[in-house]
Structure 1
Amino acid sequence: MNFMNEKVFKAMSDKTRREIIELLKDGPKTAGEISDHFSSAQPTISRHLSVLKNADLVVDEREGTFIVYRLNTTILQEWLAWLLKHFGGGDRDE
């Protein structure tokens, strides 16, 4: 799981990407809907979405002429479980 954690930590290290995750918590959004929340140019937001996809934190799906982004809650849950296990202050196996 270390390779996954490295990608997720990289993705989550950026404030804009964390804000995109927050936006997607409320449900799927198109790239345009996501971009509307930021002052950055569309290509910048597309790069952020690409990093999030590379970390498997978001998935995209074409719906007609739009690409819709959704949270990959499975990866988020696995990452949060890993964080709690290693940094949660409870019992540690390692």
Structure 2
Amino acid sequence: MTPDSDDLFKAILKLKDTDEARAFFRDLLTANEIVEFGQRWKVAQMLAEGISYTKIAEETGMSSTTIARVHKWLKKGMGGYKLILKRLR
């Protein structure tokens, strides 16, 4: 990561609610990027629930390659997915 990345993360932590987050991320990212991030998050949630790749692909339209990548990050990443999944329970 870079100092610019750290500044971005600090800025995100200042957002107070979903409306502020929506506005900030819409200015920062394209609509398609936001949709893609949302789909990856949905895949992570479904994987954590034990849902099969096939069912996830059917429901989200995501490729098996993307699902496998999210699964890899969920299991062997830096723990970000696991942290948030735990906090949202």
Task: Compute the TM-score of the two structures, normalised by the length of structure 2.
Answer: 0.37
Flag the structure with higher helix content: 2
**TM-score computed with the length of structure 1 as normaliser:** 0.36
